[in-house]
Structure 1
Amino acid sequence: MSKRSESVRRLLLPLGRARSYESGQTLYRVGDMPDGIYGLLRGRVCLSTPNDAGSVFDCHIAYPGFWIGDLALFARSPRLITITARSPVDVWFLPQAALTDLLRPHPDLLADFYALNHQNTAVALRLLANMSIPDTTRRVAAWLLFSDESLSDTDGWILCSQEQIAMMNAISLPTARRILKKLADQGLIELGYGRLRVGDRGRMSEFCAT
C-alpha cells in the first residue's frame, strides 16, 4: 500500500486489524471462499498451488510489503492458491464486509485494487517465464535474482532451504545443490544455513543473459 496515495491509505488502513500466525500455519487454502485481503507486515509466506499431476507446487516466497487476496474477493470466487507461513508472521487483514461497505461511497478505490492485482499478475508472469528457461543453472540464477528483488528486511539474505529452491525450480535436490555450489564457487552467491544471498546483481544478471 506504500504506492497508494495518502488519501487511499487513510481510507483503507483503519478498516484492518492485526493477525498473527505461527510458522506452518495456513492463512487460507485453495478452494476457500474469500474473507478479505492480507498485507504481510512481518515474516515470510509461501504461495502454493496444485498441479494436474496431483501434487502441490510451491511457486513463490513473499516478504513484508506483499498483499494478496484481492482476486478471489472481487471475483467472488474460491481461492486459487494456498498461503502458508514459513516463519512467525504478522499480517494486516482487511475484512471483506468492511471493504464492501467502503467501496459503495468510494467506487474509485477499485482502481487501486486493480493496481494491486496488476502487480501480483506481473509476479506470476515473471515466475512462469523464468520457469521456461531451459538451462537449469540459469533458471535458478534468474529465480535468485527475482527473489533478491522481493527482499525487505532480511539484510540481503534469501531465507529458503535448498529443498524449496529445488521444488520451485522443478529440479531434483542433488541438482539444486550442485547448481548452488557452482554459483557460490563463481562468487555469484553466498551460502548460509537455510539461506543464501546474491553477491553482485550485475554479475548475476550478466550470467543469466549469457
Structure 2
Amino acid sequence: MLCSALFGEHFAQCVRGDCTIRSNSEGTLGLLGVHGWLASEPEEFKRWAELSGKWRVYQPGQFLYFSGDPSDGIYGLESGSLEVTFPLVAEEPVVLHRAQVGFWVGDNGELSDTPRTISLMAATECRMLHLPRLAIRKLLADDPKHWQSFYRLATINTTVAVGLLAEALSLTLRARMCRRLLLLTDTSIDVTVTQEDLSKMLGVYRSTLRPILNKLAKSGAIELGYRRIRVIDRAILASFRDEQ
C-alpha cells in the first residue's frame, strides 16, 4: 500500500494548541444532530453532548492528535474532512480513510483507556465537537447505561474498518474508487481532493489511478478540476461499485 508523505521528521510539531476552541453555549449539535452516530442516540444523551461538548476549528494540515497520544475524549466532524492515518513501517503513515461530516472518532482509546492507535489530521478546515474525557467519565460513573451509546459508536467504526478491508481484498480498483467518490460526495457534488489524495486513500500510485479517472470523465460520470473532482452522474459510478 502506498504510504503518505505528509509526515516528516518533525512529526510532533503539530499546532494542535492553536485550534480555535469555543464552549457550546448555544446548545446545538449542528449537522451532528442529523448525521452520524449521535443523531440516532437518545434525546437525553444528545442533550448531555450539547452541554458538555466544545467546538474546535482546525485549519488544513493541523493534527487533532497523533498515534501514541493519550486519549482526551472523542471528536465529531460537523464540517470539512479529516484524514485518518496509521503508522505501519518505521512509523511511516498509511492513509486509511478520508472522513466526512457525521464521522466520530476517538472511541477506541477512550473506551479502552489506551493510547491512540491512529493519527488524525484536518484535510480541509474542520469544525469539530469535542466531548472531553472527564465529562465522559463523569457521565458513565453517574449513569452506566450510557456505555451502550459509546459501544454503538465503536461498532459503527469497526464496521467501517472491516468494510474498507473487504473492499481492498475483493473489489477492483475502479469499484473501490467509485465507492470512495460516492461516499465523499454524499452531501455535495464536489469533493475537495486531489488525484494524489485519492491515490493515497486507495493505496495505489497516481499513475495507476489516472487512466481510470480519465475514462470516467469521458463517460460523463465525473468532471476533473484543479484540486477537486465533481460527480456528474452518480448512477454511472454506482454501476461499478460491485465490480470484482
TM-score (structure 2 length as normaliser): 0.78
CA apart distance, 1:142: 2.8
Q: Give 3-state SS (helix, strand or coil) of 1:73's partner.
A: helix
What does 1:153-168 correspond to in 2, within 5 Å? 155-168=188-201
Q: Give the superposition deviation at 1:137.
A: 2.4
Match of 1:56 among 87, 93, 113: 93
Trace 1:29-44 onto structure 2 (pairs within 5 A).
Answer: 29-44=66-81
Equivalent residue, structure 2, for 1:4: 41
Query: Is residue 2:203 matched to residue 1:170?
Result: yes
Select 2:234's aligned residue among 197, 201, 204.
201
Q: 1:193–1:133: structure 2 CA closer, same or farther, 3 Å change rule?
A: farther
* RMSD between superposed Cα atoms in Å: 1.8
Q: Which residue pairs with 1:75 in the alignment?
A: 112
CA contact (8 A) 2:98 2:201 kept: no
- CA deviation vs aligned residue, 1:92-131 (integer Å, no higher than 9, x gap): 1111011101111211111111111111112111211222
Structure 1 gap segments, 5+ residues each: none
Shift of 1:134: 5.5
Deviations 1:72-92 (A, max 9, x none): 111001101100011222211
Per mean C-alpha deviation after superposition, the further-off stretch among 1-10 and 23-32 is 1-10
- May I ask how many residue pairs the two structures share in their alignment? 206
More displaced 10-residue stretch of structure 1: 113-122 or 135-144: 135-144
2:173 aligned partner: 136
Q: TM-score if structure 1 supplies the norm length? A: 0.90
Give the fraction of aligned pairs with identical amino acids, expressed as a percent.
Answer: 35
Code of the aligned partner of 2:231: V
Aligned to 2:24: none
Once the two structures are TM-superposed, the CA of residue 208 in structure 1 deviates from its matched residue by: 3.0
Matches within 5 A, 1:180-191: 180-191=213-224
Q: Is the 8 A contact 1:50 1:57 kept in 2?
A: yes
Q: Secondary structure at the match of 1:10?
A: helix
The answer to whether structure 1 residue 47 and structure 2 residue 84 are counterparts is yes
**CA deviation after TM superposition for structure 1 residue 50, in Å:** 1.5
